[in-house]
Structure 1
Amino acid sequence: MRHLSVQHAARRSVPGPVLLVVAHGSRDPRHAATVHALAGRLRVLRPELRVETGFLDFDSPAVPGLLDRLALEGVREVVALPLLLTRAFHAKADIPAVLREARARHPYLLIRQAEVLGPSPLLVEALERRLYEAGLRAADRASTGIVLASAGSSDPEAAAVIAGVAREWRRTGGWRAVRPAFASATLPRTEDAVRALRAEGVRRIAVAPYVIAPGFLPDRIANGAREGGADVLAPVLGAAPELARLLLRRYDERVTVAGPVPVSA
């Protein structure tokens, strides 16, 4: 038994591929600060794992330069994990293109792209955490309508996923209603979803931003919540512990496809 315990401990000490968190980037400094805070939480949960953050635009380090540096350091495996809640343009086009170019520059660097974060029950747990932090109570569920407000995308698959999350959350969560809304590209807007629920006689309405970091579109969601007269506005997901666990889960899933399973957090 002691021999098995020693072997297990040895397996835990072996780091896996570098985890590269790929964020979009923003002119708003709160965005990068949130991404780095989330990466810090990952390092606490799994200290043996090397975690890097890279950005597609606006912030540094840029993903291409970061991959170049990792290759020069002798890193041989990277799991690129999109910090995205749905599979839209960035996950389908932007990130794969950047990774293909890096593979061409560094043919001995194995780069694998992980799945996006959503949908996942852990995201719903994080949404509910933020709602409770904003003042809702478990006893409020039956009388509260939720507006699940996302950034929005012109990709119909992404919009359908948000609508599906809203339906499932209503089915399992016990809320009076859960309706999707979007800050861009797709309707309804946050304020219109709030007003529609109010017109249906919902007594208490809360807006739950389905976004990770602050920025222009999350601010639009917040303004829409105020304009529509919502009773509660939750913070963005940010560096929620559930989000950190989900990132490690997506990393583990991608590593499992092509190699040994890392120890879960």
Structure 2
Amino acid sequence: MTAPVLLVIAHGSRDARHAATVHALTARVRSLRPGLRVETGFLDFTAPPVPRVLERLAAEGEAAVVALPLLLTRAFHAKSDIPAVLGEARRRLPRLRVRQAGVLGPSPLLNAALQRRLREAGVHPADRASTGLVLASAGSTDPEAIAVIAEIARELRHTGWCSVRPAFASAPSPGGFPSTEDAVRALRSEGVRRVAVAPYVIAPGRLPDRIAAGAAGADVLADVLGPAPELARLLLARYDEARRGQARRAGARPMAVRAAAFGA
């Protein structure tokens, strides 16, 4: 039996670096599982749009697709935008079976990718006791997404960092976190001598650039997660879960964040 196509659904951006990073990630996924057909579609700004990819797959006789949101938390895009796009495709293409996989986070593999980027930026496990960390995400007003970021920050605090502050790319939203700049400033006010900013985002673009601008007062800025090998492995894990019917339900509680991935 032919395996379902893996359709990675990214948000899209006017910034060409975004699509280049997404394509580099999907290329790494293909290298990890030769023979698996991996396609990429975008919700906005970037071609090809998701509906066109699904139409092409149906025209080519593909029978099944696992649609995997390239998202770190379950917020508006995962709960509304993507289900709407896939629902419309199911109505127009009844012979094509489409199953939506769970979002990527939280996951120990994401934690490991974050640790990789910090290490590449020059922050090693021995440095954590004297380093304050800003965990900078794109931002959301969704309570579930906010809770996930807060939990990751709490877990990180127990892996040796002298302090950890969650932050958003720009101004805080109701119930959310401070901006990256404000989080860096707060750590400095606590007397933290060395501050590192870790973008909890996948690809470059407008919001990651805001994180970088807000990190101007920090000592270290890690890179975005990008095509990290851990991220490619996570895409395949979510694909396999969806094939087995284990994708997390709309109201399911997120899996616990394990701090072990941040070990030395």
**SS of 2:73 mapped into structure 1:** coil
Q: Comparing both structures, which one devotes a greater share of its residues to helix?
A: 1
Aligned ranges 1:175-190 → 2 under 5 Å? 175-184=161-170, 185=173, 186-190=176-180
Aligned ranges 1:10-89 → 2 under 5 Å? 15-89=2-76
What amino acid maps onto 1:243 in structure 2? Answer: L
Partner of 2:257: none
**SS of 1:246 mapped into structure 2:** helix
Q: Which runs of 5+ in 2 are unaligned?
A: 247-264
Partners of 1:212 and 1:15 lie apart in 2 by 30
Partner of 2:191: 201
Aligned ranges 1:156-235 → 2 under 5 Å? 156-171=143-158, 173-184=159-170, 185=173, 186-226=176-216, 229-235=217-223
TM-score, reference length from structure 2? 0.89
Corresponding residue to 1:255 among 237, 240, 243: 243
1:86-132 Cα offsets, whole Å, 9 max, x none, are: 00000000000000000001111110000000011111111110011
Larger Rg: 1
What amino acid maps onto 1:176 in structure 2? Answer: C
TM-score, reference length from structure 1? 0.89
Alignment coverage as a number of residue pairs? 242
**SS of 2:114 mapped into structure 1:** helix
Query: Is 2:224 the partner of 1:236?
Result: yes
TM-align CA RMSD: 1.1
Partners of 1:203 and 1:183 lie apart in 2 by 22
What amino acid maps onto 2:100 in structure 1? Answer: Q
**8 A Cα contact 1:143 1:202, kept in partner:** yes
Identity, % of aligned positions: 74
**SS of 1:149 mapped into structure 2:** strand
Corresponding residue to 2:131 among 134, 137, 144: 144
Shift of residue 15, structure 1, vs aligned partner: 4.6
Shift of residue 160, structure 1, vs aligned partner: 1.3
**SS of 1:179 mapped into structure 2:** strand
Higher relative contact order (CA 8 A, sep 6+): 2
What amino acid maps onto 1:46 in structure 2? Answer: R
Shift of residue 187, structure 1, vs aligned partner: 3.1
What amino acid maps onto 1:230 in structure 2? Answer: A
1:155-214 Cα offsets, whole Å, 9 max, x none, are: 12111111111111222x221122100014443000111111111121211000000000
What amino acid maps onto 1:241 in structure 2? Answer: P
What amino acid maps onto 2:163 in structure 1? Answer: A
Partner of 1:5: none
Shift of residue 220, structure 1, vs aligned partner: 0.2
Partners of 2:209 and 2:34 lie apart in 1 by 34
**8 A Cα contact 1:15 1:49, kept in partner:** no
Query: Is 2:105 the partner of 1:103?
Result: no
Partners of 1:194 and 1:241 lie apart in 2 by 29
